Amino acid sequence: MTIKRNPRILVFDSGVGGLSIVREIQRQRPGCDLIYASDNAAFPYGTKGESELVSRVDQVLHRLLAHSPADILVIACNTASTLTLPHVRRHFSQPVVGVVPAIKPAAALSRSKVIGLMATPATVERPYTLQLIRDYAANCTVIPLGNAELVQLAEAKLRGITPDMKRLKAITAPFTEHRDGAKMDTVVLACTHFPLLRDELSQCLGSHIALVDSGEAIARRVDYWLDTMQLNGSHQPERHLALFTRDSKEIAELRPALADLAIDALDVVPV
């Protein structure tokens, strides 16, 4: 069916990593209105316990949707996805798309069967991630690298600060120092912030290393739900919006990066 407006997709994250998902959805499925929402008042999520995070995400999503209704919800944060998805799916009527570390496609892509896993420390150690490795990469050597500083570097890059390549090389050094590091041919970027540093990480690791993230898979899942719900849109001009849960000077610093994604409207929804 044809609706009288464009389909609306809410892409939710604690920081700016969700913008890598916004970019991929725009590439694969134009004609949608995208609402990028950052819970910057509670950033970062990786330091919070499960019960605290479930309560926070529930509260924030209800406030955001009351402000800007959406047809599909995308939880563009690995921490929030692994800990809150069951709750969100029970308490919201919209289809909910979560982020899963791209271990399965990386294992299928790798020829050497030595893959790196780059994530936040919490994601690297989470039972959910370890189960994905057992299920889809049992025939691979997986070299884990947990680092939270990359999140800050990605956030800073979007605000116009050039990443420190010496620092990035030091962060990625455990890959090359591992006994099987020379055989590694694929790295999973298991945080939505990390694709924002794709060019810099490729320089550090070498162009022969394939960098795999979940953006394309998430966009395909959104595409599936749009087709399933028959949300074909109205062919009106796209209208994109960025929402934040706390006002801060950093929002203004993000305007150029948001403008690159045709997000010109900004608003604050205090939570």
Residues 32, 77, 140, 204: which is the catalytic one? 77
With contact defined as beta carbons under 8 Å apart, do 241 and 11 qualify?
no
Is 32 in the active site? Answer: no
With contact defined as beta carbons under 8 Å apart, do 269 and 245 qualify?
yes
HSE at residue 168, side-chain half, CA atoms within 13 A, is 21
Is 140 in the active site? Answer: no
CA 29/CA 111 separation, integer angstroms: 31
Long-range contacts of 55-61 (CB under 8 A, 24+ apart): 57/12, 57/84, 57/87, 57/88, 58/84, 58/87, 58/88, 58/91, 59/271, 60/12, 60/245, 60/271, 61/12, 61/88, 61/92
- Per-residue H/E/C for 163-226: CCHHHHHHHHHHHHHCCCHHHCCEEEECCCCHHHHHHHHHHHHCCCCEEECCHHHHHHHHHHHH
With contact defined as beta carbons under 8 Å apart, do 98 and 85 qualify?
yes
DSSP 50-117: HHHHHHHHHHHHHHHHHHS--SEEEE--HHHHHHHHHHHHHH-SS-EEE---THHHHHHH-SSSEEEE
| Catalytic positions, written as ranges | 77, 191
